[in-house]
Amino acid sequence: MTTWPELPGSVGVARLRSAEEWTDVPLYRGISYCDAVRRAGMGEKLRVLPGSIEVCQWAPVVLGLKEPHGRFEMDLQPRLEFPTAGFLLAPLNAFPAEPEVGICSAAPSELFKSVKSAFLWEGHAGRMDLSALPALLERRANVRRGLIS
């Protein structure tokens, strides 16, 4: 298993194959997926299952936890295929398995350095302009710096 560096607030995410997986990890019940990610970034290990998200209407559809109904929900993109059994969320440096996704929390200048080094890899060279980070660092009027924290 990969050993991840200490990145305060960073979260690992993995899809569950079934709701019975990782039953020793507490089930999240709360307002939104964003809240579950925030809590995981503060040190909690959580499972997010269908029905876990009690207020946010669209995250369960986008995450494949709820079947889309109506035109608006059908048009939400990108969207994971329904049904998704659930997700395991935990601090990245304490993730109990190999995460499928890492969510990093840092100042835009720190993210820029990390992303810039990633764009040095073969296949990514010269594609920094496809990232939102240069716009954030240039402080363009139409970009809110607070969107990435």
How confident is the prediction along the chain (149 residues), in pLDDT tens digits per residue?
555 555 668 899 999 999 999 999 999 999 999 999 999 999 999 999 999 999 999 999 999 999 999 999 999 988 999 999 999 999 988 899 889 988 877 776 776 666 666 555 555 556 666 555 566 556 543 444 344 43
User: In terms of pTM, does the model score above 0.75?
Assistant: no
CB 34 within 8 A of CB 53: no
Exposed e or buried b per residue across 15-44, where buried means at least 16 C-beta atoms within 10 angstroms of its C-beta: ebeeeeebeebeebebebbebbbbbbbeeb
CA separation, residue 89 to residues 16, 46, 119, 130, 142 (Å)? 10, 5, 27, 28, 32
Q: How far apart are CA 111 and CA 45, in angstroms?
A: 24
